[in-house]
Structure 1
Amino acid sequence: MLIDLQGKTAIVTGSTRGIGYAIAAGLAGAGAAVVITGRHQADVDHALTGLRDSIPGAQVRGVAADLGNADGFAVLTRAEPLADILVNNLGIFQLQPFTEIPDEEWTRFFEVNIMSGVRASRAYLPGMRRNNWGRIVFISSESGLNIPADMIHYGFTKTGNLAISRGLAKSLAGTGVTVNAVLPGPTLSEGVRHLLAPEGDDSAAEREANAFVRQHRPTSIIQRVATPEEVANMVVYICSPQASATTGAALRVDGGVVDTIA
């Protein structure tokens, strides 16, 4: 299967590192013109350099904006008013006991993990409808189904992503615009690497992550963490013309962690 996204513009939120960066690289490698976003210009510039160095001829550009609030979206939409593909990847996570999560943290997680996708989809959907073609992807998580006891606020937002993506897909019935959610399982992103090995030992981080999967996600079939590129592969396919009959779906890249046949 040859995925050709030439002539398409893709926006990937929260894409200066980790899963978002891998998605941006995958879309650029398929020929899309990719817009990456991050809060800091230095991070955006660093990511753009990496993409251009690793993907010959990559069409990439970036916008520095804090998409955890409405003002940040005003910056993004002024710079990039149209998109054919939107990947709502921006998200935050934090281990925290339920009784120690203050109101402001619930609000922050809601604004970043849920409202960023709502605002982006609301902004770019009208152009997709006019063209009768578009792809919107929400990066949810297996934690949206298996709510983690030590990150309830995170799991809650990832369940919200599933509800929004399904409802939005239904609202676009009969159009050429699809909306799907992708649910990564434990993934060795840069954030996870830093959490497990803040001193920068990547091998140690991978060992710790794989041990975590075996101990705390025993239903995992692959018995290891996924790579950001493995998650990105699913996203690139869902954004392709070949995925035109897939919409309203919750697509798991969880290594089999969610123990269900459906």
Structure 2
Amino acid sequence: MHIDLKGKTAIVTGSTAGIGLATAKGLAAAGAAVVVNGRTQQAVDRAVQAVRVAVPGAAASGIAADLGDIAGCAALVAQCPDCDILVNNVGIFGPQDFFEIPDSEWTLFFETNVMSGVRLSRAYLPGMAARGWGRVVFLSSESALNIPADMIHYGFTKTALLSVSRGLAKRMAGTGVTVNAVLPGPTLSEGVAAMLGDEVKATGRSLEDVAVDFVKTLRPSSILQRPASVEEVANMIVYACSPQASATTGAALRVDGGVVDTIA
């Protein structure tokens, strides 16, 4: 399958590392002009360079904006007022006991993980509809279905994204614009590597070995029995953004290694 996105502009939020950066590289390799995003100019500049190194000749640019509030989202839209592909990837996570999570943390997670995608979709979808073509992908998680007891606030936001993406797909019916959610499972991103860092230091074992044990212990239903790579998740996202995915909309596309134990 040859995915051709030449002539399309793609914005990938939270794309200075991890799944977001892998997605930016994948979209650039398919010919899209890619706009990466992060909170600091330094991180954005590094990501733009990484895309250009991975894909020589890539049309890559970047916008530094913190999408965890209204002002940050408005700043991104002001600098890039139009796009054909929007990947709502930006998100935060971290284990924390329910009884220790203050209101401010719930609000931060909701604003960053959910409202960033709501605000940007509201800004960009009308233009896609007017042109008769567009792709919006929300990064949900297997945690949307398999709520982790130690990250209830995170799981809650990822469940919300399933509702938003499904509802938006219905709202855009017949326009040529598709809206989908992608649900990664345990993925060996920089964020997960940092979370496992103490165990790596304490045991002297490799990050890969610790990550496999993490999956087997905390996600025992995993069929893959290892974390996915960021590239494996990005492959699903790039497909959802492709012309070939024209009949896929309103879907929850799982790339969770079989963690969610259901056939539907």
Range into which the TM-score falls when normalised by the shorter chain: over 0.9
Asked if structure 1 preserves the Cα contact closer than 8 Å seen for 2:34 and 2:59, the reply is yes
Indicate whether 1:205 and 2:212 are aligned. no
How far residue 244 of structure 1 moved from its aligned partner, in angstroms, is: 0.3
Q: Give the direction of change, closer, same or farther, for the CA distance of 1:198–1:11 in structure 2 (3 Å limit).
A: farther
1:155 counterpart SS class: helix
**Aligned-partner Cα distance in 1 for 2:205–2:231:** 17
Distance in 2, Cα, partners of 1:178 & 1:246: 7
TM-score by length of 1: 0.98
Q: Displacement of 1:218 after TM fit?
A: 1.1
Aligned to 2:5: 5
Gaps in structure 1 of 5+ consecutive residues: none
Contact 2:141-2:183 within 8 A present in 1 as well: yes
- Alignment check: 8 A CA contact 1:194 1:200 kept: no
RMSD of aligned residue pairs (Cα, Å): 1.4
Instruction: Name the residue aligned to 2:222.
Output: 220
For residues 138 and 225 of structure 2, the distance between their equivalents in structure 1, rounded to whole angstroms, comes to: 25
Question: Shift in Å at residue 53 of structure 1?
Answer: 1.2
Relative to structure 2, which stretch is displaced further, 45-54 or 139-148?
A: 45-54
Q: By how many angstroms is 1:209 displaced?
A: 1.2
Letter of the 2:184 counterpart? P
Structure 2: how far apart are the matches of 1:251 and 1:203?
33
Corresponding position of 2:137: 137
1:235 to 233, 237, 241: 237
Which consecutive residues of structure 2, in runs of 5 or more, have no partner in the other structure? Answer: none
In the alignment, is residue 148 of structure 1 matched against residue 153 of structure 2?
A: no
Secondary structure (helix, strand or coil) at the match of 1:129 reads helix
Q: How many percent of aligned residue pairs carry the same amino acid?
A: 68
Q: What is the count of residue pairs matched by the alignment? A: 262
* SS of structure 2 residue aligned to 1:63: strand
Alignment of 1:1-262 (within 5 A): 1-197=1-197, 204-262=206-264
- The alpha-carbon distance between structure 1 residues 227 and 203, as it changes in their structure 2 partners (threshold 3 A), is farther
Q: Are the aligned partners of 1:186 and 1:213 in contact in 2 as well (CA < 8 Å)? A: yes
Partner letter of residue 42 of structure 2? Answer: A
Q: Is the 8 A contact 1:193 1:200 kept in 2?
A: no
- Alpha-carbon distance, 1:213 to partner: 0.7
Check whether the contact 2:199–2:210 (CA below 8 A) recurs between aligned residues: no
For residues 92 and 73 of structure 2, what CA distance do their matches in structure 1 show?
Answer: 17
C-alpha separation between the residues in 1 aligned to 2:111 and 2:150? 20
CA distance in 1: counterparts of 2:199 and 2:93, whole angstroms:
20
